Structure 1
Amino acid sequence: MTKESIRFVGIDPSTKTGFVILDSNGEVVVEEEIRATATKDPARMIGIAKQIKSYLQPNDKVVIEGFAYGAKGKAVDFQYGLGWLIRAMLFTEKFGYSDATPSQVKKFASNRGNAKKEDLVLPLYKKWGYEHHSDNVRDAYIMARMAYNIYNHAGLQKYEQEVLSKMIKPK
């Protein structure tokens, strides 16, 4: 496996799933908000998982956002179902993946684990020159950066190193 063959993937599972792939140099290859084409579950979940799978290549390294255990509302059961379906697909297809909690994603980008989504816009632009209209895609970008930095440690801040060291290791 050469450095050129490794890509770094971030997935923010939701009804509008944020999905980003970085190449071996950390440049954006794919940035998309994946939406279901079906209207009923579990077909919606399966459709999103299939779209994700269609982008993946054998050596991709993935970081997927963990569950927001305190979340409430109608979409929570969908997010849990989709999150587990994507993880099962990654596991079955033998893709290495790590989980990042929502607070780890925020802290990696801003050094604040309790930052609001809108508070991440400026740090993303200042740190990486990245901007996108979708907060789901922005979160996926942060996770793709986390995946990249698991394998490329140069220039990391202490708080970024702390986040990566506490993440659940690749499966």
Structure 2
Amino acid sequence: MSFRYVGVDPSTNTGVAILDPSGAVLDRVEIVGEGEDPGRINDVVIRTLRMIQRTDRVAIENFSFNSRGSYVGQQYAIGWAIRIGLYVRKQKYLEVAPSQLKKFATGVGKGSKEDLIIPLFEQWGFQHKSDNVRDGFVLAQIIRAVHEPVNLTRPQKEVIHKLLNPSPKKPTTKKTKRGK
């Protein structure tokens, strides 16, 4: 069975890129919702989920917890709604931190969205005017590298290793009030 590899950068303008097993781009699009919220959010989510087939392998960018601005609530709503849609389908997905996405593309885990433009072109010959689609493309390359024999740089290998072997989460301790 041949799989497709889908990268999703969920935001008010959601970037989606779909690759075949060899890394050829099958589709790339920026989904911009129409109408007013919450209908606009729903439009982005439905159109994104329609692009994803049940047999696709999916990577989705994790939330940027340092984001600011009025769109952050909408960004979280879209991100969670896409995850819930995949969950309802019983479709697994890999969450990739923004720093891991940048490290996979550039070799370092920080930088601006514009810092991806040249490395994406040099490494994969990929160009797109939308930074959301560029992020979706890198996410698709990451999920592809998890499942296909792909030549990777040392930083890319580190990202894949960390995604497949996450650090165990420390148990949270509850503080209880006594007395009074």
Q: CA RMSD in A?
A: 1.3
Aligned to 1:113: 109
Q: Which amino acid aligns with 2:47?
A: Q
Aligned to 1:91: 87
Q: How many residues align?
A: 165
1:100/1:168 contact within 8 Å kept:
no
Describe the superposition over 1:131-152 as per-residue Cα deviations: whole angstroms up to 9, x where unpaired: 0111110000000000110112
Structure 1 outlier segments of 4+, above 6 Å: none
- Mark the structure with the bigger radius of gyration: 2
Aligned partners of 1:164, 1:38: CA distance in 2, in Å? Answer: 38
2:105/2:119 contact within 8 Å kept:
yes
Q: Percent identity?
A: 38
Describe the superposition over 1:113-165 as per-residue Cα deviations: whole angstroms up to 9, x where unpaired: 11211111010001101001111100000000001101124311121011112
Query: Aligned pair in 2 of structure 1 residues 54, 113: CA closer, same or farther (>3 Å)?
Result: same
Q: Which amino acid aligns with 1:32?
A: V
Aligned to 2:16: 19
Aligned partners of 2:23, 2:91: CA distance in 1, in Å? Answer: 19
1:60/1:96 contact within 8 Å kept:
no
Normalised to the residue count of structure 1, the TM-score between the two structures is 0.92
1:13/1:65 contact within 8 Å kept:
yes
Aligned partners of 1:168, 1:52: CA distance in 2, in Å? Answer: 25
CA deviation after TM superposition for structure 1 residue 70, in Å: 1.1
Gaps of 5+ in 1: none
Aligned partners of 1:66, 1:87: CA distance in 2, in Å? Answer: 10
